[in-house]
Amino acid sequence: METIGLDAAGRKKHTYTIFTLEAHIKYLQEAHDQAPLETAVTVLDQDAKRMHLWFEMKNATGDVIATSEQMVMGMDESTGRPGPFPEDVNDLIQQLPTLNQPTGLMVQMCRWAFAENKKTEVPPSL
């Protein structure tokens, strides 16, 4: 959330936050205490108030050890209802990596992206 300007100060400034509507986590390998880990996010799809996200966690050798697919929705805290992302937040969302070519692992693990996403079709090679 910090990356898109919704740290504590940003949430207060906009009276806005993000709720997780659904999350699917796959643990593929063990992570060890004090071992370096790297995480990356890909935006699979987005509209004015929702994001469909794909996260990967990798170990020091570059192996994907966990994945998470999440559907999140922006919430206007002043009304308690879903609301569009504030303009500056949306600008930062647009800078996040997006789906250009799904990986085999992503196609295998992802629950929604290729069944419901009208923008992305699974390439026949996957």
Q: Which residues contact 13 (CB under 8 A, 6 or more apart)?
A: none
> How, if at all, do strands 81-82 and 38-46 pair?
unpaired
Q: What is the pLDDT of residues 19-42, one digit of tens each?
A: 999 999 999 999 999 999 999 999
CATH of 2-116, one of 3.40.50.1100, 3.40.50.150, 3.10.20.30, 3.10.129.10: 3.10.129.10
Average pLDDT of span 78-93? 97
Rounded distance between C-alpha atoms, residue 92 and residue 69, angstroms: 20
**Lookup result for tokens 């997780």:** 20
In the chain, what are the domain boundaries?
2-116
Whether 119 shows a pLDDT value over 60: the answer reads no
Burial class from Cβ neighbours inside 10 Å (0-12, 13-18, 19+) for residue 55 reads middle
Please give the mean pLDDT across all residues of the chain.
86
User: Is the overall model pTM greater than 0.85, yes or no?
Assistant: no
Q: What is the pLDDT of residue 80?
A: 96
- At 126, the amino acid letter reads L
CB count within 10 Å of CB 86 equals: 19
